[in-house]
Structure 1
């Protein structure tokens, strides 16, 4: 996966329609997340995350997401994992929609000075409940790149203290996209912010996330404040 960041940059320039950023409907939401890694041995671990996302203007809960999986370290810089995810979408005055996903991923990481670069490739098999239409299945590809930089000593790996981060993720429909938005490109998430590492086992971060979602007829640009806690056991 070395060099994936260059590929990601090309995909961003080529796949994200420039006009959509300007013409999309705009929403403001709040996202919260807790992710955890529990070591089972030197190479094996359990990974999980729980997320809550609000609807527009943070008036009500829109999404509840729980994801869990098993991870294996192929080497110190490369891990693979697979698991399952459950997603509820709440709609005031209407029934809740549920999605089930199985997923597989590879995560590559490396350090240059004090900065950590990570690249993630994730495949998802989505079983989607839809409103006013039959349930459907779709495969999706997600490509994510992230850089984390310590703010105190930029030449040493971060053990404690403040850090800044920049992250981007691109989503592509691989199958049955005619049942969704009819396009190869699904969405893009650009995320940046600040965090504090309390210990090698606890990070807390907050930032701004810009989510562009292409719809069949109307695109949405979501401006989200995201709060995240990451733990290791």
Structure 2
């Protein structure tokens, strides 16, 4: 990785850290730790077979393994322009409920479509992934109202294998990312998501990751025709992710594919 790219990455992390340091006024100072479970089936593209795709089921709870309130079902089709440059179109359905009254049905459901670009960089053992995503979101609320929103997301994801130089069968690895969520209509900075975890690739197909994610939502009010940050609602979660990767027959068994979470 050249010095310019390294400097840009450090600047991005510093800006995100600075914003969070000045905006962490919790809406709810004490919250229970939540949990996310992510189940993914994926067919990565390759040099020989450039088309790929995935499907995913995810559930979230307000507390550890209880107080379930949210699920999403999604999938997408990808195309590898080259080994380090992938585009994807995806869609999904998202449902949010009150965990105290699940029998009343969802508070809102969302249908989402997105377009995505992923760039990867390799520097000895360190692997970096830049993900750019544009989302179109259609909401239906319990009171029969509806809304349309758009969102832009950028995620910088790093991987570091501990017992091998590449992430293949039998590799223990570390993973971390920071993702920002931007609203093009304002207020611009909507959410920040920080993750750190450890993973293990058992076979060429099965990967398990266990980690921690902090998701902070920034809440604004309008004062004198300007958006003013009021508080930050942040929550910590334990994340368990299981990924099953299918493979094309022509792909070499030792070829490295980064174990990225699709969310």
Q: TM-score range by the shorter chain?
A: 0.7 to 0.9
* Distance in 2 of aligned mates of 1:152 and 1:95: 47
1:29 to 30, 34, 44: 34
Does residue 46 of structure 1 match 2:53? Answer: yes
Name the residue aligned to 1:226: 239
1:157 to 138, 159, 166: 166
CA contact (8 A) 1:77 1:108 kept: yes
Query: Which structure 2 segments of 5+ residues have no match?
Result: 221-229, 247-263
- Give the TM-score normalised by structure 2: 0.77
CA contact (8 A) 1:203 1:229 kept: yes
Please show how residues 140-151 of structure 1 align to structure 2 within 5 Å. Answer: 140-151=151-162
* Distance in 1 of aligned mates of 2:232 and 2:143: 20
Name the residue aligned to 1:166: 176
Does residue 121 of structure 1 match 2:132? Answer: yes
CA contact (8 A) 1:8 1:144 kept: no
Deviation at 1:20, TM superposition (A): 3.1
In angstroms, what is the RMSD of aligned CA positions?
2.3
* Distance in 2 of aligned mates of 1:203 and 1:34: 11
Name the residue aligned to 2:81: 74
Deviation at 1:54, TM superposition (A): 0.5
* Distance in 2 of aligned mates of 1:199 and 1:109: 23
Name the residue aligned to 2:150: 139
Task: Render the CA deviation track for 1:173-216: whole Å, top value 9, x for unaligned.
Answer: 113x5xxxxx2111111100111111232210101111111234
1:205 to 197, 203, 209: 209
Greater CA drift, 71-80 or 89-98: 89-98
Deviation at 1:13, TM superposition (A): 4.1
Structure number with greater Rg is 2
The alpha-carbon distance between structure 1 residues 5 and 200, as it changes in their structure 2 partners (threshold 3 A), is farther
* Distance in 2 of aligned mates of 1:7 and 1:128: 35
Task: Render the CA deviation track for 1:25-49: whole Å, top value 9, x for unaligned.
Answer: 2432000102222258710012222
Q: What SS does structure 1 have at the residue aligned with 2:55?
A: strand
Task: Render the CA deviation track for 1:95-145: whole Å, top value 9, x for unaligned.
Answer: 401011000101111222222211100110011234558321111011101
Aligned length: 223
Deviation at 1:8, TM superposition (A): 3.5
Query: Which structure 1 segments of 5+ residues have no match?
Result: 178-182
* Distance in 2 of aligned mates of 1:213 and 1:136: 19
CA contact (8 A) 1:20 1:219 kept: yes
* Distance in 1 of aligned mates of 2:40 and 2:10: 27
Deviation at 1:5, TM superposition (A): 3.4
* Distance in 2 of aligned mates of 1:145 and 1:139: 21
